[in-house]
Amino acid sequence: MEEKEVKPKSPRKKKEKIPEDINKPKTQNEIPDKLNSADEEKPSPLAITGMIIGICGMIFCCGPVNLILGIVSVILGYLELNNIEKNESPVKGKNFAIAAIIMGFIGVGLFVLRIIGFTFFWSWENFLNMLGR
């Protein structure tokens, strides 16, 4: 009787499955939420536009420009706050919208102060002319 040598079986390593889509480019829906949330953190263009127009309304004090820009800034600020309350705009734009409203009222206030100042100066000159000075 011949004896055959029995070799012990070597433990086999299981092959790891490689995902088939490893080399495929990911679509926008497959990107993790951390990357998608970057778009939600940006304030809306309406809020930024309102704030910029409010700044311009405070700076440009020639003619009725600051009155018009102030009113537009207040309107855009209120529109943006309404959009934020309805969850149609990101919450990050809330501070920009509030700034637009404040700067718009300051622009309108500067216009009113200028009109009051011109009226007072004009009436004071007329008063002095009536006195004969």
| Higher pLDDT, residue 102 or 8 | 102
| Higher pLDDT, residue 39 or 18 | 18
Rounded distance, CA 52 to CA 96, Å? 9
Rounded distance, CA 21 to CA 68, Å? 57
pLDDT at 78 over 90: yes
Rounded distance, CA 89 to CA 61, Å? 32
**102 and 74 Cβ atoms separated by less than 8 Å:** no
Rounded distance, CA 37 to CA 64, Å? 42
pTM here is 0.62
**60 and 66 Cβ atoms separated by less than 8 Å:** yes
